[in-house]
Amino acid sequence: MRTLTVTGHGRASTVPDTALIRLSAVHRARSLAEALAGAESARAEVVNAAAGLVVSTVNLSVWPTSEQGQQPGFEARHTLTIATGELEVANELLSNLAYEIGSRLLVEGVELTVRDPTAALGQAREAAFADARAKAEHLAALADATLGPVEAVAEGGGAGSGPPVQFAMAKADVGLQPGETALAAALTVTWSLA
pLDDT at site 176: 63
CB crowding 41-77: b at 16 or more within 10 Å, else e: ebbebbeebbeeeebeeeebeeeeeeeeeeeebbbbb
pLDDT of 61 reads 93
Average pLDDT of the residues of the chain: 85
Whether 82 and 18 have beta carbons less than 8 Å apart is answered as no
Domains observed in the chain: 3-15+116-193 (3.30.110.170), 18-113 (3.30.70.360)
10 touches 131 (CB < 8 A): yes
Across the strands, what pairs with 134? Answer: none
pTM for the whole structure: 0.60
**What are the beta bridge partners of residue 29?**
74
